Structure 1
Amino acid sequence: MVENNSQPLKQRPRKKKRRLRKPIRIFLWCVGIGTTLSLGNYVVKAFTTQDPANLVAALVTNQNDHSQANEQQTNGFIQDPQTTDSNSSLVDDSKNGSTTDSSNENSDDSNTITKNDSTKDHSSLQVENESEKITEPIATILVDAGHGGIDPGMTVFDEVGQPVWMEKNINLNAALKFKEAMAWINPDIRVLLTRDGDFATTGDQYENYSEVTELTNRTNMVSAYGANYYLSLHCNSGGSSQSGVELYVRSNDSFSNTLAQNVFQAFEAIGWSDRQSVITTDSHPLHVVDLAGVPSMLVEMGYMTDPEDLAQLVDDQQLTTLMEQLAAAYSEMILSSK
């Protein structure tokens, strides 16, 4: 038996790892976790508080900015952001290929107008041209619708005493139709009305009303309005055998006397009445004819006491035709006297 004299190998002792003390390890671990949580919270907050739509818009805007910059570079220039406002006033005239500064042009025009009143812009010239087209009337007729307001004139009553037709209303209707007819027959002749509603021209009613004051006020309108002719419209009344048209003029008023004959011919053409007469104020004075101071005529369009005349007077279409004939007679007479 062989004796084993070898001695067992000695193992090298392991080095013990140097480990930090437990309290320090815990402290560092807590610091690391806290830092990680803080950073994560900041990132999450930054993205969650931003509106997704705004983020998308920002991305699109940024993309457009890049595309515009690329396009400008392709055209050979890059616009300076500081000069954007000033360059935005440039207007490219595609017709002549020129570029003008609108802000400078406006400022130059304003300086020119200030320095020289004779030089005006296009808008001023347009206003002047429009005003030149407005011509003065060749004549002005003051049409007086007889009666009105508290004064009804001739009135037709029914069987129980209720008013059916009032002269003041027929006269007003005729005056309005005369004005409308003249507007398209001869717009160069101006027509003014003493009243365009059911009222007294003086505004007086009941106990304050005076017929003389009212008539004087109407004739005073002739000079106040600068009228060249005066026309008073009325309806007549009388016995059962009376009918037709009567015209009242001054004997020395040659214009109105000639006009009266033309009016009768115009009325005959439409079969208005076969009874006609011209009466001068020498035998029958009338305030509005004698005191008007211009060629004047009072027209009694028909008798409200005659059934046939009344039927024509209250027929809207027939009254329109009558006023068209009267306006045409005035227009022809005025034009021939110029």
Structure 2
Amino acid sequence: MGGATAANYPAMRYSLYWVNNLFIRSTDVLLSQLTVYPIDAGNWSQPSNQYLVMGGSNRGRRVTQQYSAGLPTNMLIYHNWIDPATYDGSQDGGLVSLQQTGAFSTYNQGGSLVPGTYRLRVDTMDNNGRSFTNASTIGKKGYAVRAVNGDAGRTTCTNCQTAAWYDMCFFTPFDAGLGGSFSMNLFQLPRDYAGLTVTIDLWDPGDVFSTSGFVALNVLGPAGAVASSPLGINIYDLHEKRSNLARRNYQVWASAANNLLASFTALDTRTAVSADSQWIHLEIPIPSSYNPLPGQDWWKLQYVTGPGTVTYDTVTVAVGLKGGPVHLVP
């Protein structure tokens, strides 16, 4: 990926923060920053010098993949789970730069983070890790996040929760089966938010295949039914910019005056309706009687397609409550 031009390769930065207040980002405390510089893996099939460093102070260096008993012993930044707050990449040929702040030792004791809430910010940067706006920062990066205990075996932390905060982009392969539908967890909404209004923005939900040429998207409540409200639900097409909502530059797909369901057509080849490359905005009033049991407060996104549809979709979603964050898919 990226070709021979170094500027085409993005670096990734992972910044860990201690969270003092769930709603005020300015009070977060920066603990560490891990920068991972890019490689050209065009020689991956060769016996040595498979990787060429394409950014940072070691740009131009060749790295040979090493193994022991068939398992990689270096380049673990690409082959293993790593701790973004402590991994120094000493065996990775200069691909990794780790910086820890003075506050790090306060929140990391004995090799484990003290109990609390932490935020991991992930930024795509230019190949040298200096700019957020360079053209090479445009791309797609897939990674997984988990929370574990501080023991040597890194066992699963059963009392921890990992979730996106406010917005995320997800890649979802799905199989609609004979019934022609597929659903996935979208966000968690505890009873504390009863009586408020959930706003959901979806980018590009119409760029998906269906055996019938038709795709509907539903937001399902914790009970599994399509979310509804007697107050009505607004659904707007914001076109290519979320900022169009404030400018009132949008197309009304459904008005609260005559629409009670959180459901819309994302694709219909017969009528040329499409949410491809568009922001779709939903406003769902939560009833004051909303009172789900703890752990049973997940809302889902459902795709309704033609039967037997096997495909994938990449969708960006942002969820808010009067400007406050909501936990998205863990």
Asked whether the two chains share a fold, i.e. TM above 0.5, the reply is no
Which is bigger in relative contact order (C-alpha 8 A, separation at least 6)? 2
TM-score, normalised to structure 2, is 0.22
Q: Which has the higher strand share?
A: 2
Higher radius of gyration, 1 or 2: 1
The structure with the greater share of residues assigned to helix is 1
